[in-house]
A = this chain, B = another copy of it.
Amino acid sequence: MLVKHSSSTVLRRQQFLVRTLCGSRTHLPKLIRATMSSKSEAADAESVLRTVTPSLDPKRHKGQAAVIGGCREYTGAPYFAAISALKIGADLSHVFCTKDAAPVIKSYSPELIVHPVLEESYTISQFSEEEKRKVEDKVIGEVDKWMERFDCLVIGPGLGRDPFLLECVSKIMLLAKKSNVPFVVDGDGLFLVTNSIDLVKSYPLAVLTPNVNEYKRLVQKVLNCEVDEENAGDQLRSLAKQIGGVTILRKGKTDLISNGEIVKSVSIYGSPRRCGGQGDILSGGVAVFLSWAQQLKSDPERNFSPSESPAILGCIAASGLLRKAAALAFTKHKRSTLTSDIIECLGESLEDICPAS
């Protein structure tokens, strides 16, 4: 059970980090041990999903997710990520976005808690440097006061590339790291991280979920070379290692996942229909499954080995579920399948793989 008040939360995260970094005895279920191989291999995504998903017990907290994203231009992506987290099973799902984006994102669903706290440059263009710093402090403060409640952040869906906004988001990443809150970086968050790799470097609770282009830029920036499809697994492992062991989920026809040590692949199900927004469902899903895997890992009765990574397990589970839901939505909607249709299929797909009772 996730304890909500501050000291316990911090303590829990510290205990978890100690276990992660220093190791502990292992009594792993076979399905999870399978992900520990040092070679690239196909993950049994459905089994991982069943293992990671907690039993339904009303007393058991399923966690709170928060999406940092949503600006004057983009409002769909943060909604997709946040509502997916909720549909998969989070107790509550928050969005931190700009003032312009908030009423729109709120109107998509009364289920989300939407905080209109981010600022873009155009709202502060007349401000002095000192006033700008005050605004920045206020933005950070508004997120900070909630941080202890969050079990995972998703940083980037619909974030945009406004310099002032990205500056604030850099600070939010530092806050999350200080509080040991895991975060998934996607979309424009990856633009930010690719240009400031230190923001995530060596943070074991960071997950990057690049698409083809975002991956290409990361490889160029960090490894100083081009994408090598022939040795995709090895290159991904090198990239993750070079960034200090963060976890990377490289989205593609086959999803590849590595934390610099092991490389796993997920290629079950999937849909031939591409639609923008699938990546947002994935990022919301990784956030929830990662926090559940972490919860499992912090359970003293289920000691996990240090080489067992909640981030890897979260990526495998989320990838498997998205692919199943996309396949199911495609059977229903064919060429007209939209992201919302896939989200509508998350519950049925989850129930099919991992029945609630």
Residues of B within 8 A of A56 (CB): 272-273, 335
A49-101 residues with Cβ-Cβ distance < 8 A to B are: 53, 56-59, 61-62, 72-76, 79-80, 86-89, 91-92, 100
Also in contact, A106 and B75, with CB within 8 A (given A56-B335, A87-B338, A351-B334): yes
CB distance from A244 to the nearest CB of B (A): 31
Majority secondary structure, A binding face: loop
Q: Which residue in chain B gives the minimum CB-CB distance to A340?
A: B111
Complex Cα gap A350–B106 (Å): 29
Residue A104 lies at the interface, judged by CB distance under 8 Å to chain B: yes
Number of copies: 2
A333 touches which of B111, B112, B347 (Cβ 8 Å) = B347
Task: Report the contact-size class of chain A (Cβ under 8 Å from the partner).
Answer: 35 or more
A58 touches which of B75, B108, B111, B272 (Cβ 8 Å) = B272
Is the CB–CB distance between A339 and B272 below 8 Å? no
Residues of B within 8 A of A74 (CB): 113
CB distance from A76 to the nearest CB of B (A): 4
Residue A274 lies at the interface, judged by CB distance under 8 Å to chain B: yes
Complex Cα gap A65–B251 (Å): 24
Q: Can you name 13 extra interface pairs (CB under 8 A) apart from A76-B113, A111-B277, A336-B351?
A: A59-B253, A61-B274, A73-B115, A86-B275, A88-B335, A91-B274, A91-B275, A104-B106, A107-B108, A111-B338, A272-B356, A272-B357, A334-B350
